[in-house]
Amino acid sequence: MGNDTIISLATYNERENIPLMIEQIFANMSDVDILVVDDNSPDGTGDWVAEYQRNEVRLKLLRRSGKLGLGTAMLDAMRFAVDNDYKYFINMDADLSHSPKYLPLLRSKMLEGGYDVVIGSRYILGGGIEGWPAVRRWMSYLVNLGARLLLKLKTKDNSGAFRCYKVESLKLICNEKFLSRGYSFCEEVLFRLNKKGAVFTEVPIIFVDRKYGKSKINKKEAINAILIFLRLGIFGA
């Protein structure tokens, strides 16, 4: 019997980070598979994963034709988890900003039962952020405020991607037509699960800004997120 948990890492030019990330994931939780969804990274991220997986059966690779957006990468990963009969799906950033040391906490909370999503939260007691400038903090605050007001989400950290999902719950939404292609997918998936009656909880994590590579988030992403929230909040789809 194979592992029942799969961890998704969406990558675009993460060659410096991906070896460390995979090593640390397996060091903290060995009984999992890892799926790297690579958007044809020019820096050879996908090539490194393809070579490494030849001797590591727990490592999977989904190559895509180009930079298609973080949201579509996460959705493709969710569909992979559904199609391959995993029980739990964990998504996290590939740049080491989400520490693999929190993986046992996310899964143990899920195993308590009764939850469809366990969110690694920066905004509850015990959580936090290290290394962000003030403008990045304000962008995150406004996006999360918009998610709570427009999407009626009760959780504090709706924009963070570090989460454990019950795959049985993802089956209810993974074939829906999502509006988000970028970072706002994190809020949209909670919105759609919330409409299905899913139960969410949060556990505290410390988010540490990336050391290597360049962040892909910008003001345009934040504006697009609010526009998508407006559409979802008003029209519901």
Q: What is the pLDDT of residues 154-210, one digit of tens each?
A: 999 999 999 999 999 999 999 999 998 888 999 999 999 999 999 999 999 999 987
- Measuring CA to CA, which residue among 73, 88, 110, 108 is closest to residue 33? 88
Q: Report the pLDDT value the prediction gives residue 75, as an integer from 0 to 100.
A: 97
Distance between CA 92 and CA 77 in Å, rounded? 11
Model confidence pLDDT, tens digit, residues 44-72:
999 999 999 999 999 999 999 999 989 99
CA atoms within a 13 Å half-sphere pointing along the CA-CB vector of 216: 15
Domain locations in the chain as residue ranges: 5-235
E runs forming strands in 66-149: 88-92, 117-121, 128-130
Q: Is pLDDT at 215 greater than 70 in this prediction?
A: no
CATH number of the domain located at residue range(s) 5-235 in this protein? 3.90.550.10
CA distance 102 to 89: 15
3-state class of 35 per DSSP?
strand
Rounded to 10 degrees, what is the CA torsion of 223, 144, 160, 207? 110
pLDDT of residue 224: 78
pTM score of the predicted model: 0.93
In this structure, of 17-21, 73-77, 153-157, 206-210, the range with the lowest mean pLDDT score is 206-210
Enclosing H/E stretch for 219:
helix 219-235
